[in-house]
Structure 1
């Protein structure tokens, strides 16, 4: 089930894709924006990217339909030979499928890339969310950082959690490992 937060991110990505429609593959950019806002989970990013592409598909398909009506496709098809009607139907199906792939499929890829970028640059994501007026610590299923969970200490955010890729900070004088702020808070909470 799609949450309201995901729908808002998808709409923002769709608006970006439509506004930048003069750029080729603008739906990738719209999907990437939606995936970046959605967060670091690549599955959720791909989902919100596809949803942004589906929302983008509606005005693009409406515009294509108006162009076809303006050019006169479909008028007088009943009076023409059956082969012409079948060919016209084939062309419309191929064009619709191509347009659907262009908007939804490529936006899905953009959403995946956007969520990957959100995982690599959590500070930029937090700043971006604050700039557009969204809660910076909003996570699916987690309370914002700093608030206590009823069962225990607050959940660490991406910024507070120790990096597993980096070696621990050491004191050069006695070569001992310094605990991080998150570890100190956890030990303090355990003592209480």
Structure 2
């Protein structure tokens, strides 16, 4: 299944990332699949891997956003603001982790496709 559509390749890689989430390296595997399907140069693999990681992060955003909504309202506004900021920092870190590892996987996938 080789396609020239970058976003379709990224979506396939994101689905693979989510399905392989029981492994510790699922962003790399999903990005590698997307990069392999994309083929081309290294920059193409990096781009499609990063897009795949961004798409795969969406379910995590949803769960963490729900956590943000159920933070109990304390009488102290500092507690609510501090908890909200902490959740937003965790969201940013998860997004960066997933995107970076997926981009590395995309680079690996593009390299494998080019060499084989």
TM-score range, shorter chain: 0.7 to 0.9
Task: Tell which has more relative contact order, 1 or 2 (C-alpha 8 A, sep 6+).
Answer: 2
1:37, distance to aligned residue in structure 2 (A) = 0.9
TM-score (norm 2): 0.86
Contact 2:32 2:49 in 1 (8 A): yes
Distance 1:21 1:92 in 2: 21
Aligned residues: 113
TM-score (norm 1): 0.54
Structure 1: tracts of 5 or more residues without a match = 122-192
- In the alignment, which of 102, 105, 113 is matched to residue 110 of structure 1? 105
Distance 2:78 2:59 in 1: 31
Distance 2:25 2:75 in 1: 37
Q: Secondary structure at the match of 2:89?
A: helix
Alignment-derived partner of residue 44 in structure 2: 44
Residue 11 (str. 1) matches residue 11 (str. 2): yes
Alignment-derived partner of residue 170 in structure 1: none
Q: Secondary structure at the match of 2:80?
A: helix
Distance 1:17 1:100 in 2: 13
Q: Secondary structure at the match of 1:7?
A: helix
More helix by share: 2
Aligned CA RMSD, in angstroms, stands at 1.8
